[in-house]
Structures are given as C-alpha cells and as structure tokens.
A and B are shown apart, each in its own frame.
Chain A
Amino acid sequence: MEEFRFIDLEVHTAFENMAIDEAVMLSMKDGNAPPTLRLYRWNPSAVSIGTFQGMTDEVDVGFCDSRGIDYIRRITGGGAVYHDFEGEVTYSIIMPKGHRLAPSDILESYRLLCGGIVKALEHLGIEGEFKPINDVDVYGKKVSGNAMTRRHGCVLQHGTTLLDLDVNLMFTILKVPQEKISDKMIADVKERVTSIRDILGRDVHIDELQVALKNGFSDALDIELSPGKLSDEEQDTAARLAQEKYPSRAWNFSR
C-alpha cells in the first residue's frame, strides 16, 4: 500500500495552519516532501475566506477583533468557513501533480478525496455522500466543505468537518446584512447545514472525529498513514509564511 506522511491532529493559529499547508507544497515542488495528510484545529477560532472573496464583504472584522477570532484568506477558492476551536476538525491532503489521487478532472478529484470524509462518517455510523461541487452532505445537509488548489506543482485539498454548529455565532461572524438575519433565514441555514453531534444526538468527542478521519482517508484512498513531522525546511518556510504572508493586511485584504 502506498505510504503518506501523516501529521496527526495538531493545534495552531490560522496563520500557522495556512503557512504549513503552503510550506509542504513548496517543499514537495522541489521533491523534498512526501505525499502528506494533516489533521488540525484552529486556536484561536478563526474564519477563513476563499481566495477570491473580499474580506470585508464576507467577515465582520470588528466583531472578530472584539472576540479574539482570527481571520485569514486561504490560497484555495470556495467560501467563508468558521473554524471553531471546539467545533470542527480540518484536514489537508497534499500530493504532487500527476499522482493517482489527483486526476486532472477537478470534480472527479473532489469526489475522490471527499471519499475520505464519506468513509470517516461511515466509521461514525453516519451515511454521508459527496455533493458536487465540493461538499459532503448527510441527508441533504452539509457537514463538510472542501477546497482545492493546484500550484507549486502540487494538488492541495483542505476541508472542514463540523463536529458542532452555532448558527447564530456563524451569522454574526459572517457578514450577512442585518435585515436578512430573520428567524426564517436562520431556520433555512439549519436546514442546509448540520454537524456530527446534531446527527448522532450525543456529545461526540473530538478524538472520535480525529480517529474517524484518519481511518476514513486511509480506507477510502487506499493509503498507509505513516506518522511523521515537518522537515526543518518546511518548518522554516512555514514560520516565515506565518509571520510575513498570512497575517498581513496586504494578503488578507487584497480583495
């Protein structure tokens, strides 16, 4: 079975998390990093926006500042995601272009990699399905959002799986015109989004999701996860990106 380096659940700031993902790509481009799967959480809690979104269009930056919630632009497209420290686990999977798990057809690529989430849900006793373009749904409600980029000679996909969900907080962080926050709209979102705790109706521990994701990706993608860590080169690059690029206004407010 093919081996992937596995960097098991770590906790980082938003800036470190996005910096590490990019640092792995940059090392892989030079042939210095193996295909890699990471699991991570965000502390402080943070909101990430898609690379083509406008920060102030999507995020109530003032509210985030007042609550110590970080905000960051991703290098991947897609939408705004609130990464609650207690309420979700993020994964990233990175491999060289041309890898068998990175077909040139992008929708097919999402379907393949999101198979890891579907399988993880199965491990938790939940029947999920890939919902094109980039979601995983359970009975028609989104529980996981995913986003991919192809650059630096690599394919990176990262995504969130919701363990818990606070719709009111999500609405406060994500900028929706006040007049639109009606009870109806909140009800509508509850109809469209769900979480593992909601589905199972119990206090699922974050460790359970962590193990399910690990086994889900390993099973679905037929890969052997070999525990590993970042190389010195990756750590240096990540430290630089986490300091210079990802917290910068030039990056985060570029749109």
Chain B
Amino acid sequence: MHESSYKIPGGKFVKIKLEISLGKIVDVKILGDFFLHPEETLQKIEDSLVGSTAVETTIENAISRILTESDATLIGATARDIAKTIIMAWNVT
C-alpha cells in the first residue's frame, strides 16, 4: 500500500492510502480533517477513481465531476489538493 500526507497551506490535512495494480488504482482511501457535505460523496469519489491511471489532471477532473454531480461542498481542501496527494502516494515506493 502507498501512503502520503499533505497539509494544505491555509487548509486542512489530507491523507491517501492507495493500492495500485498494473498502473491503475485498485483501491483508494481519502482521509483527513477536511469537511465535505454531503459526507457520502467521499465514497462516491473513491469508487469513481478505481481504474484511474497516474495522471493528476484526470484524477482532479474525476473528483470535480463527482463533486458537481453530487452538488457537494468540499471545505478545507480542493479536488486539486486531493489529486496532488494521490499522485504523491503513487510516487512513494
């Protein structure tokens, strides 16, 4: 499992736990002390990222899309921050 933590400047803390196989996400957990309303959106984001490759902008767009579809509000972190932390985890060997 790959892990990374990122304290967002002026924001909250994001932690990623990542399982990768053959260059694709098999499982991802997004943890931290940020706020997300409705909270169930996080599970949807995690599910939607399964199968993603290590392209930060693609991951960011996927997260943004779910946020929009769910009419969700993410506070203390952005889709970009989460995507960045996922790539950080990916690069941990």
Q: Which residues of A contact B (CB under 8 A)?
A: 50-54, 57, 75-80, 106-107, 133-134, 147-151, 255
Contact = CB atoms under 8 A, between A and B. Distances in A.
Contact of A77 (B15, B17, B35): B35
Contacts of B34: 52, 77
Contact of B37 (A53, A78, A79, A150): A150
Interface residues of B, number: 19
Interface in B15-34: 15, 17, 29-34
B38 A78 contact: no
B33 A77 contact: yes
B39 A149 contact: yes
DSSP majority for the A interface?
Answer: loop
User: In this complex, which of A77, A79, A134 has the most chain B Cβ atoms within 10 angstroms of its Cβ?
Assistant: A77
Contact of B75 (A50, A75, A79, A106): A106
Contacts, number: 55
B35 A133 contact: yes
B39 A133 contact: no
B76 to A, nearest CB: 5
B18 to A, nearest CB: 14
Interface string B33-54: 1111111001000000000000
Given A54-B15, A106-B73, A151 B33 contact: no
A121 B92 CA distance: 45
A52 B15 CA distance: 10
B39 A51 contact: yes
B72 to A, nearest CB: 11
B50 to A, nearest CB: 17
B22 to A, nearest CB: 26
A59 to B, nearest CB: 13
